Structure 1
Amino acid sequence: MKKALALIFAFAVCWQAYAQERQHSDKFEQLGPLLRSPNKYRTASGAPGPEYWQNQADYEMDIELNDDKQSITGHETITYTNHSPDPLTYLWVQLDQNVRAKDSDSYSTANNSMRPKMNAYTMGKVLPKDFDGGFKINAVKDVQGKDLPYTINKTMMRIDLPKTLYTGDQFAFQIDWYFNINDRMELGGRSGYEYFEKDDNYLYTIAQFFPRMCVYNDYEGWQNKQFLGSGEFSLPFGDYKVSITVPEDHIVGATGKLQNPVDVLSYEQMKLLKDAETAKDPVMIVSQKEAQKKEKKKLTGKKTWVFHAEDVRDFAFASSRKFIWDAMGVNIGGKTIMAMSYYPKEGNPLWEKYSTRVVAHTLKVYSKHTIDYPYHKAISVNAARIGMEYPMICFNYGRCDEKGNYTDRTKYGMIGVIIHEVGHNFFPMIINSDERQWTWMDEGLNTFVEYLTEVAFEDEFGEPFPASRAKPQNIVPYMNMSKKNLSPIMTNSEQIQNFGPNAYTKPATALNILRETVMGRDLFDVAFKEYSQRWAFKHPTPTDFFRTMEDASAVDLDWFWRGWFYTVDHVDVSLDKVVRYKFEGEEGSAKGNIPEEELDDPEKYQAFYGKLEDKQKAQIKDNTNFYELSFTNKGGLVMPVILEFTYEDGSNELIKLPAEVWRYNDENISKVFVRNKKITNIALDPMLETADTDMSNNYWPKKTLPSRFKMFKEKTGK
C-alpha cells in the first residue's frame, strides 16, 4: 500500500511539474459562446432554418432628372409585406441623402485638424458645408392619399401605421421627395454628378436617390442604425418598376430590364443589342462619334426610360449624353447574360478595349465559385474617382489623358475596380449581408473572390495581372502595426480603424490562407459554394458563414475565426533552436550540450544513449539523425507550421504541421524529426503562406535578411 501511495505521489508531482510547464491554450476553445444560438430560423449547421423568413419591399417609382438644376424629383409607392411572426406598428425607412444635410452627424462627428500647409482636400474637411443636401420630403401618404404620421431622425424616418401589420399582411404607402445632386468631384460621394467644362455636359451616377426600406430580421429586429458614411447598407429584397425621365438625348443604364426600348432606342440600336447577344467581342451600340456629336448639339426634349427588376435589394442608374455604349453576351449556366459598359470619350481607348470583356470575365469566375449569376445583365459605368456597386450596375474609375494615353497603374487599377464592383453583385447584392454592421462580409468576401478572378485574368486575356490584395506577405505591414491602431475584423462598420486593410485586405487574405494553406482548395471551394447557395437572396450573418464553412468541410475552424476575426494578434513564429541528435548505443557518457553559439552548425550533434527495444534499434541506422526543432509563437496568432528541409544531397522536403500542433501550448512547442539524411538548411514558412511578420527568425542556420527599405530600393532601382 505504501508503495502504491508513493507511486501516486510521484505521479502527482510529475503531473504538477508538467502542468506548470504546459500553457493552456484558449485559442482552440470553441466559438460557441461568441456565436448566436441556433434556432428554427438559423440552424447549427449554418443553413437557413425550417421557419426562416424575411420581409419584402416592392417599389413603383417615377423619377425625373433635372439637367439644368442638377436635382432629382421622385414619387414612390412602397408595398411592404410582413412575413415575420412579429406584429409591426411602425416601419423604418432609410434617408441616405441626409448624410449630406448641413446638420448631418457625418460632419459633426468627423475628426479634422489644421496643418501648416493645406490643400483643397484638407481644407474641404474643415470648412463648413454650404451644399444644400439631404432629402426634402414633401409628403408621406397611404395609397388613398391620407397623410401618415412620420418622424425623421437624421438618416432614418419612422412611419406610424394606421393599424398593426400582422404576419402575412401588406401595407402600401407613398412618398414624394426631391434633393439636390452633389458634385462628386468637389464633395465626393458614392453618387452624384461630374461636370465636363470643355463640352458643358454632365455625367450622372445616381444611387441612394429614394427613401429605402430598412431590414427587419429575426436576429436584430429593425436595422435602423444611423448612416454615418462608412457602414453601408442593409436592404430587403423586392421588385422594382421605375420610370426615369431624362433629357431626350441621354443614354440611361440602370438596374432592371428595359421595358420600352422602342420609345428610347433607335431601330439600329435595338438591332445591335440583339447582335451583341451572340457576339464574341463587344458590339458598339452607341459609338464615340455619335456621343461626341450629341455633346455638341444638345436636344431640349425629354424621354422616359422604364425598367423592371425582380428580386433585387436596390436600384441605381447612370445618365448622360456623353455615353459611349457597348455590349456582348456571356454564357452563364446555359443562359445569355449581357455584359455592358457606358463611358465618356475620356475613358477611351482603355474602356473600349477592356471594360465589357472584364465584366464578362468577372461573371464567369464568380459564378464558378459562388452561384450562377441570376440577372440578365451587368453594367460597368465610367465615373472618375469612384468605385461603387448596385444590383446589375456599378460605377468605376479609369481615365486616359487627352491624347488617349494611360499608364499601367491606371489600366490595372481600372480592371481591378471593375472586377471588384461587378463582383459585388454576388456579395452583398445577392448573398445579402448586413453592411451597416459587418463590412467584411461583403467587402472582405468580395475582395477574396476578386483576387481569384485577377489570378485567372491571364488565362482569359493572355496577359498577366498583378493580383496582390489577398497575398499573405502584403498584409504584413498592417498586421505588424501597433495594436492601438488595429481593430478586430469583427468590429462594427462605423468604428473600424484602418478601414481598407481591416475590412477588405485582412479578411480576403485570411480566406486565401484558409483555402491554400489550412483547408486546401477542394474542401474550401465546396464549403464556400455551399455558403453562397444557402444564402443567395437571403440575409446571412457571420455566424452562418463560420458554421457553414465548418459544416461542409469537416474542418474545425473555430481557432481560425477566433484568431483572424476576433483578435488583433499577428503571425510571428520563431524557429528558436535546432539540435541534431545521434544514437550512440545503450551505454556511454554523454558528450554534453552543444554550446548555444554552435547550435547553428549542421556538423554539430548531441549524442544520446538508451536501452531500446530490438525493433526500435532496427529502425535506427548509422546515418539516422534526430532533429529537435523548438518554436516560439511571438505574435499570438496560431497557424500551421510549414517547414522546408534542404538536405546534404541538395534535395528538398516540404512539411506542414496543422495549427493544432499548438493546441496544448500556444506559446512554445518542440518537434522531433527523424531523417536518414543530413539536413543542411531549414526554412520556416518558405513560400510566405502565413503572413509571418518577421522572417529573420525563420531560418536555420540563421540568415541575415535585407531590410524592407533595402528590398524596396532593389525592387524600384532607386
Structure 2
Amino acid sequence: MKIKLLILIFCSAFVLGQDIKNNPTSNHGNKFEQLGTILPTPNYYRTGSGAPGQGYWQNRADYDITAYLDEDKRNLKGSETITYYNNSPDDLDYLWLQLDENEHSSVKNAGYDSESFLPKQVSSADLKTTDLPKKNNGYGVNLEKVTDASGKPLSYVVNKTMMRIDLPKVLKKGEKFTFKIEWNYNISDRMKMGGRGGYEYFPEDGNDLYTITQWYPRMCVYSDFKGWQNNQFTGRAEFALAFGDFKVSMNVPADHIVASTGAGKNYDQVLTPAQLARWKQAQTAKEPVEIVTLEEAKKAEKSKSKERKIWKFEAENVRDFAWTSSRKFVWDGMKVIIPENKNEVMAMSLYPKEAYNLYRKFSTKVIAHTILTYSEYTIPYPYPVAQSIEAANGMEYPMICFNYGRTEKDGTYSEGTKNGMIGVIIHEVGHNFFPMIINSDERQWSWMDEGLNTFVEYLTEERWDNKFPSRRGPAHTIVDYMKLPKDQLEPIMTNSENIIQFGPNAYSKPATGLNILRETIVGRELFDKAFKTYSKRWAFKHPEPADFFRTMNDASAENLDWFWRGWFYGIDPVDIAIDKVTAIKPHLEATPQNREITYNVDAPMQNAFVDKSKIINKEDKNIVFYTDTDKDVQDFYWRYNRGQEKVDQTKEYKMKFDNYEKVPQKDKSKLENIYAYQIDFVNKGGLVMPIILEFTFEDGSKLNDKSSAQIWRKNEQKISKTYYFDKKLKSVQLDPMRETADIDTSNNFWGEIAEPTSKFQVFKQKHEGSARGAANGRVNPMQAAGKK
C-alpha cells in the first residue's frame, strides 16, 4: 500500500532529515513551519487529529502456558498454546515471534556488535582469550516442538532473536490460528550476564531469586504503520507486543512464593492456612499486611523443599506476562480503590530480608500513591493487581515490576538509597500506563514509553514529597546534556539502537520537554487535558509519535509544531542572551512641526501596463464587460478613465498636516517619569523559547513578563522588545526560574543600564484617525470637476 510505503520512508528518514527547513537561506520561516511534510499522512487508520481512525485495527494473541522451574539445573521448561487473531485487512501467510532469551546466547543473539578498546585495567576473571570462532555458551531458546492445534508439525525458521512460522494456509481477515510450542532454556545469572530476567544467587543462604521475563516465545506486533515489527532484540530497545488473555501455570519448588502478571487463581492450594487468612485480610486493609512474614521467609531459606507446587494465574487484556519465584520472599499487600472507575486494586510487594527495612516501610505505599496519581493524569488504572518486586534492578511488565532497595547489613540505609528506591518504584509501576496500556512501539521509539513515563514519574514524585530530589523533569537538570558537542547528540526522534546518550535522550529530554510545555508554554490546565486525551484515545492501542504530537495540538488548541520540531527532531540547545538594554526618556517640550504640501489632483488610475489577459479579453467577442451593459455604474471615474471627463491636472492645491500639538501642562506630570527600555535578544543556541523576564527597579520592586515563543517567528536569530515604566529599571533577568533549559545563564542578566542619552518626542493628538476608505481632506478629481 502507498500509505505504508510513505510511513516506512518517513521512519527511515528521521535520522537523515531531522531539520527540514522551509526557508534555509533566511532568518525566518523555518522553526515555525508545520510538521505536515515530516509526519505521515493521516489516513483511514489514523486521523489528522491524532485519534484512531474509523478503520483502526490491531491483532490479538491469547496464551495458555505451563512452566516448570528446575532450580537444581537452573532451567525453565515451557509449553504454550497460542491463538492468534488476524483483525487486519491483510492476508497473512506467515507469523513472526520473538525469542528474546536468544539475547543471552553467544551464537543466536542479534549480532549488533559495538566497538571495543584496549583496557586500562581488567579483572582476572574477565581476562581470557577471544573465542574464534565463537563457542556456544549454552544459553538461548531450545525449541523442542512446533505444531498446529492437532499436533501436526509446522514449518519454521529462526533468525537470531526472531522466529518465523509458515502457515499451512493463508490467514485471512477475521480468522484465527492456534498453534503450540514446547521449549526450554538455561536461566542466566542476571548479576553477571546482565539482562532483564534471570536469577540472582545469595551465597550467604544458598538461595536463588528468579525473575522470569521475556521467557516464552511471543507474538510480534503486526500493524498498519509497519507490518511486522520484527526488529532484532539486542537487549536495549524493548518490546512491541500484542494484547491478549493469559492463563499460566508455574510448577516450582513447594517452598517458593510466586508472584506474576494477573490474579492468582489457587491461593487456597499453595498458601498455608495462616497465609491465606492474611491474604484475605489484606484485601480490605488500608495499611500493608504481611501475607508471608519475615520469620516465615527466613525459615524457608534454611530448608529447601524437594516437593513441588503449581501456582495458577490469569490476566485479561495484557500485552505481556512476567513472574518471579523464590523462597526468600516476604510478601505484603493492601487494597487501593481508584476513584474514577472504583476499581479495587491489590497493591503488593515481595522482597528478600536484605530489603526488609526499606521495602516494608515504603514499597506498597509508593505503589498505591503511583497508581492513584497516574490515574489522575492518564486513565484510571484498570487491572486488579500492582506489584513491586525487590530484585536489585529496574524493569517493568503488566501488573508486576522489578526494582532495587536493599539496606546495609545492620538494617540502615542512606537517603540516596531510599530516594532512589522510591523513584524507581514509581517509574516501574508507572510503566503499567506507558507502555503496558498506552502500548507504543518500544523497539522503535524508546521515548514514547520511557520519556512519557519519566514525565509522569516526575509529577508523581513531586506529589509524594515536595522536597523529593527529582533528577529528571525540571528544566535545569537537562542543561549539561544539552551542552554536549553536537557530534555526541542525536534527536529524540532516533531509533532506540542508534542512541549514544540513551538515558538523557530517551528519558530526561522528553520528560523535561513535556514539563516545559506544561509549566511554561501551554499551562497546566490545558496541558493536562490534552495529555489525558492522548492517554484515553490510545489506551489498549498502538500509538505512534505522530498520534501523540497531533493529539497534543488538537486537544490544547496550541500549535506546538515549533516545539516538536525543535525539541524532538533537532539537537539545538536553548541559549537566549540579553544582547543590550537601551533606555530613553520622553521629550515633553517638543513642538510639533506641522507640514504643508502642494499637490495636483490625481490622474486617471489607468493600468501602467496592459497585460496579455486584458488584450485577449478585449478582442474576445464572446466576453461582455459588465460596466458596458449597465449605465448606472458608468460614474464620473468610468468616464474620466476614458477621457470623457476633463479636469485641470495642472492646478495646485495645498494641504496642511497639523494633527499634533504640544502636551498640555496638566498631562506632563503623568508622563515625565516614564522611561522606555528596548531589550535586544540574541538566539545563540538555535532553539526558540518564550522570553521570560524579571525586572528589578531602583526602589527594590519587581515585575515579571512573558512573551510566547512566537515572538521569534519573523526573526529566529534576534529580536527586540520595548517596555515603558514609570520608575527607573535597575536590572533585567532572563528566565529567572530556569524553566527553559537555557544552557548559558551567564548571558541572561543585564545589570548595567546606562542613563538615557536621547529622548523620544511626545505630542498630543488633535484629531482621531480616519476610518479606512474615508476622505482624507485631499481634493479629488470629482471635486475639482464640480461633479457628483
Q: Post-superposition shift, 1:299?
A: 1.2
The equivalent of 1:438 in structure 2 is: 445
Check conservation: 2:730, 2:752, Cα contact below 8 A: no
The equivalent of 1:600 in structure 2 is: none
The equivalent of 2:9 in structure 1 is: none
* CA distance in structure 2 between the partners assigned to 1:122 and 1:652 by the alignment: 62
* CA distance in structure 1 between the partners assigned to 2:745 and 2:591 by the alignment: 40
DSSP 3-state at the match of 1:502: helix
After superposing the two structures, state which structure 1 stretch, 579-588 or 501-510, moved more.
579-588
* 1:399 maps to 2:403: no
The equivalent of 1:140 in structure 2 is: 146
The equivalent of 2:295 in structure 1 is: 289
* CA distance in structure 1 between the partners assigned to 2:674 and 2:752 by the alignment: 24
Check conservation: 1:586, 1:612, Cα contact below 8 A: no
DSSP 3-state at the match of 1:140: strand
DSSP 3-state at the match of 1:516: helix
- Give the direction of change, closer, same or farther, for the CA distance of 1:352–1:633 in structure 2 (3 Å limit): same
The equivalent of 1:365 in structure 2 is: 373
Counterparts in 2 of 1:235-634, with a 5 A limit?
235-333=241-339, 334-384=342-392, 386-458=393-465, 464-585=467-588, 587=590, 613=660, 621-634=671-684
Check conservation: 1:514, 1:520, Cα contact below 8 A: yes
* CA distance in structure 2 between the partners assigned to 1:308 and 1:616 by the alignment: 84
* CA distance in structure 2 between the partners assigned to 1:99 and 1:24 by the alignment: 48
Deviations 1:364-409 (A, max 9, x none): 110010001000010100112x100000000001111211121111
Unaligned runs of 5+ in 1: 1-18, 590-610, 704-718
* 1:700 maps to 2:750: yes
* 1:99 maps to 2:109: no
The equivalent of 2:643 in structure 1 is: none
Q: Post-superposition shift, 1:91?
A: 0.4
The equivalent of 2:63 in structure 1 is: 59
* CA distance in structure 1 between the partners assigned to 2:690 and 2:708 by the alignment: 5
* CA distance in structure 1 between the partners assigned to 2:127 and 2:539 by the alignment: 44
The equivalent of 1:9 in structure 2 is: none
Q: Post-superposition shift, 1:267?
A: 2.4
Q: Post-superposition shift, 1:651?
A: 1.3
* CA distance in structure 1 between the partners assigned to 2:129 and 2:663 by the alignment: 74
The equivalent of 1:642 in structure 2 is: 692
Equivalent of 1:686 in 736, 739, 746 = 736
Check conservation: 1:113, 1:126, Cα contact below 8 A: no
* CA distance in structure 2 between the partners assigned to 1:645 and 1:285 by the alignment: 60
Check conservation: 1:682, 1:700, Cα contact below 8 A: yes
Check conservation: 1:112, 1:125, Cα contact below 8 A: no
Check conservation: 1:89, 1:165, Cα contact below 8 A: yes
DSSP 3-state at the match of 2:480: helix
- Give the direction of change, closer, same or farther, for the CA distance of 1:207–1:120 in structure 2 (3 Å limit): farther
- Give the direction of change, closer, same or farther, for the CA distance of 1:120–1:700 in structure 2 (3 Å limit): farther
Check conservation: 1:371, 1:533, Cα contact below 8 A: yes
Equivalent of 1:675 in 725, 734, 742 = 725
* CA distance in structure 1 between the partners assigned to 2:519 and 2:663 by the alignment: 37
Q: Post-superposition shift, 1:354?
A: 0.5
* CA distance in structure 2 between the partners assigned to 1:420 and 1:436 by the alignment: 19
Q: Post-superposition shift, 1:579?
A: 0.1
Counterparts in 2 of 1:108-147, with a 5 A limit?
109-119=113-123, 131-147=137-153
Check conservation: 1:291, 1:322, Cα contact below 8 A: yes
Check conservation: 1:92, 1:213, Cα contact below 8 A: yes
The equivalent of 2:238 in structure 1 is: 232
Check conservation: 1:22, 1:664, Cα contact below 8 A: no
Q: Post-superposition shift, 1:22?
A: 7.2
DSSP 3-state at the match of 1:43: coil
- Give the direction of change, closer, same or farther, for the CA distance of 1:615–1:502 in structure 2 (3 Å limit): farther
* CA distance in structure 2 between the partners assigned to 1:266 and 1:107 by the alignment: 47
Unaligned runs of 5+ in 2: 1-22, 593-657, 754-788
- The sequence identity of aligned pairs, in percent, is 56
Check conservation: 1:191, 1:206, Cα contact below 8 A: yes
After superposing the two structures, state which structure 1 stretch, 577-586 or 466-475, moved more.
577-586
Q: Post-superposition shift, 1:271?
A: 2.0
The equivalent of 1:167 in structure 2 is: 173
- Give the direction of change, closer, same or farther, for the CA distance of 1:322–1:120 in structure 2 (3 Å limit): farther
* CA distance in structure 1 between the partners assigned to 2:128 and 2:721 by the alignment: 58
Q: Post-superposition shift, 1:111?
A: 2.2
Q: Read off the aligned partner of 1:26 and give its amino acid letter.
A: N
DSSP 3-state at the match of 1:444: helix
- Give the direction of change, closer, same or farther, for the CA distance of 1:145–1:696 in structure 2 (3 Å limit): same
Q: Post-superposition shift, 1:47?
A: 0.5
Deviations 1:533-569 (A, max 9, x none): 0000000000000000011110010000000000000
The equivalent of 2:12 in structure 1 is: none
Q: Read off the aligned partner of 1:272 and give its amino acid letter.
A: R
The equivalent of 1:602 in structure 2 is: none
Check conservation: 2:65, 2:78, Cα contact below 8 A: yes
Check conservation: 2:516, 2:739, Cα contact below 8 A: yes
Check conservation: 1:683, 1:700, Cα contact below 8 A: yes
- Give the direction of change, closer, same or farther, for the CA distance of 1:443–1:583 in structure 2 (3 Å limit): same
Deviations 1:44-68 (A, max 9, x none): 1100111110000000001111110
Equivalent of 2:711 in 661, 667, 671 = 661
DSSP 3-state at the match of 1:354: helix
Deviations 1:637-657 (A, max 9, x none): 000010000112211111010
DSSP 3-state at the match of 1:233: coil
Q: Read off the aligned partner of 1:283 and give its amino acid letter.
A: V
* CA distance in structure 1 between the partners assigned to 2:206 and 2:274 by the alignment: 28
- Give the direction of change, closer, same or farther, for the CA distance of 1:294–1:22 in structure 2 (3 Å limit): closer
Q: Post-superposition shift, 1:215?
A: 0.3
* CA distance in structure 2 between the partners assigned to 1:616 and 1:586 by the alignment: 7
* CA distance in structure 2 between the partners assigned to 1:277 and 1:579 by the alignment: 69
The equivalent of 2:638 in structure 1 is: none
Check conservation: 2:110, 2:160, Cα contact below 8 A: no
Q: Read off the aligned partner of 1:450 and give its amino acid letter.
A: E
Check conservation: 1:550, 1:557, Cα contact below 8 A: yes
Deviations 1:328-354 (A, max 9, x none): 111113222110000000112111111
Q: What is the TM-score normalised by the length of structure 2?
A: 0.81
Check conservation: 2:105, 2:136, Cα contact below 8 A: no
- Give the direction of change, closer, same or farther, for the CA distance of 1:25–1:297 in structure 2 (3 Å limit): same
* CA distance in structure 2 between the partners assigned to 1:379 and 1:34 by the alignment: 40
The equivalent of 2:6 in structure 1 is: none
- Give the direction of change, closer, same or farther, for the CA distance of 1:340–1:702 in structure 2 (3 Å limit): farther
DSSP 3-state at the match of 1:666: coil
Deviations 1:509-529 (A, max 9, x none): 000000000000000000000
The equivalent of 2:651 in structure 1 is: none
Check conservation: 2:201, 2:208, Cα contact below 8 A: yes
Q: Post-superposition shift, 1:453?
A: 0.5
Q: Post-superposition shift, 1:615?
A: 11
Q: Post-superposition shift, 1:616?
A: 9.2
Q: What is the TM-score normalised by the length of structure 1?
A: 0.89
* CA distance in structure 2 between the partners assigned to 1:655 and 1:125 by the alignment: 65
- Give the direction of change, closer, same or farther, for the CA distance of 1:582–1:306 in structure 2 (3 Å limit): same
Check conservation: 2:589, 2:663, Cα contact below 8 A: no
Q: Post-superposition shift, 1:281?
A: 1.1
